[in-house]
Amino acid sequence: MGIFGARRFLRREKCEVIYVNAGPHSAQMLGARLAESTGLPLVLDLRDPWSIEPYYREARTPEANRKVDQLEREFFQRATRIILNTESALEAYRSHYGGIIPAERFTVLRSSFEPELYGPAPEPPGKTGPFEILYFGHLRPAKNAQLFLSGYRRFIDEWKLAPGDAYLTTLGTRTAEDDLAIVRLGLDGYTRIRPPVPLPESRAVLGKADLLLDLMGPEHRLQLSGKFFDYLACGRPILSVTPNEEMGQILTETQAGERVALDAAEIAGALGRCYSRKRSGEEFRRNEVAVRQFEARPATEKLVAILEEATS
């Protein structure tokens, strides 16, 4: 739908606010132009940061970064509210636009999961059998998998595990570089790949794992991975390897797992603690009240409040 079709839609449906979920960030341009021509309030929902995200910034040319900076400032100055999905991104953007855009224009709305989207949960694994660490999705270079593999190798050596005693299972593809690292570290007998599964069927697979693995690279200090919220829906312990300390706060509050820094020794220690709990038969218990705040219903209620505030 182009700008003229969008304008006709706004008039026909008597819309009261323009809500943009980005990326693609071209949608922000459309939203800003429509807000300018109609006078309607504009709410920009960025999810991940745009101009200040180091991973994206490094991939762009200097000229492209200048253009993104210019466009983002233009869109933000037009917006009534700007939504980010982490407290760390909120603080970074408020600092970046200090004296330019009022701090109260920025707000946080974290990602969420819809429990009813997933199939029934299986019985959790018992104290016997292989220790399975499961990664849901494709491993990309930005996910820093080789650091995790180094920590995984260290864990295997410390616990003197034989091939088949533990598995790192990937529900998706790995990179050629990760495959080489697996061979170099002697992890062939401790890793396996399984076909991807559709999201509604993921709980049946993830719910049987001993540990759900979340990996983020050194540039990802302002983000939380989307798969983390799918993991919350599956009710199994989570290990998040990330530089974003906000993840640690969430995992502590929900008692859903553990966050470690990008360090092989810390990774090995966290794996050892989870392995020990499995072998002892310790039951995994989360703070379900705290977990429910990340479900879709409270997230939707907060979004409604933001939109109503923008139109008042």
Whether residue 7 is predicted with pLDDT greater than 70 in this model: the reply is yes
At 212, the pLDDT band (50, 70, 90 cuts) reads: very high
Instruction: Report the pLDDT value the prediction gives residue 1, as an integer from 0 to 100.
Output: 61
Instruction: Report the pLDDT value the prediction gives residue 248, as an integer from 0 to 100.
Output: 96
**What's the whole-number mean pLDDT along residues 119-134?**
95
Share of the chain above pLDDT 70, in %: 100
pLDDT, tens digit, for every residue of 213-257? 999 988 888 999 999 999 999 999 999 999 999 999 999 999 999
Write out the DSSP string of the chain.
--HHHHHHHHHHTT---EEEE-SSTHHHHHHHHHHHHH---EEEEEES-STT-HHHHHHS-HHHHHHHHHHHHHHHHH-SEEEESSHHHHHHHHHHTTTTS-GGGEEE----B-GGGS----PPP-SSS-EEEEEES---GGG-HHHHHHHHHHHHHHHTPPTTSEEEEEES---HHHHHHHHHTT-GGGEEEE----GGGHHHHHTT-SEEEEE--TT-SS---THHHHHHHHTS-EEEE-S-HHHHHHHHHHTSEEEE-S-HHHHHHHHHHHHHHHHHTPPP---HHHHGGGBHHHHHHHHHHHHHHHH-
Whether residue 205 is predicted with pLDDT greater than 90 in this model: the reply is yes
Share of the chain above pLDDT 90, in %: 86
Instruction: Report the pLDDT value the prediction gives residue 4, as an integer from 0 to 100.
Output: 85
pLDDT, tens digit, for every residue of 259-282? 999 999 999 999 999 999 999 999
pLDDT, tens digit, for every residue of 91-101? 999 999 999 99
Looking at every residue in the chain, the average pLDDT score rounds to 94
- Domains in the chain, please, with CATH? 3-112+295-311 (3.40.50.2000), 116-293 (3.40.50.2000)
Instruction: Report the pLDDT value the prediction gives residue 54, as an integer from 0 to 100.
Output: 86
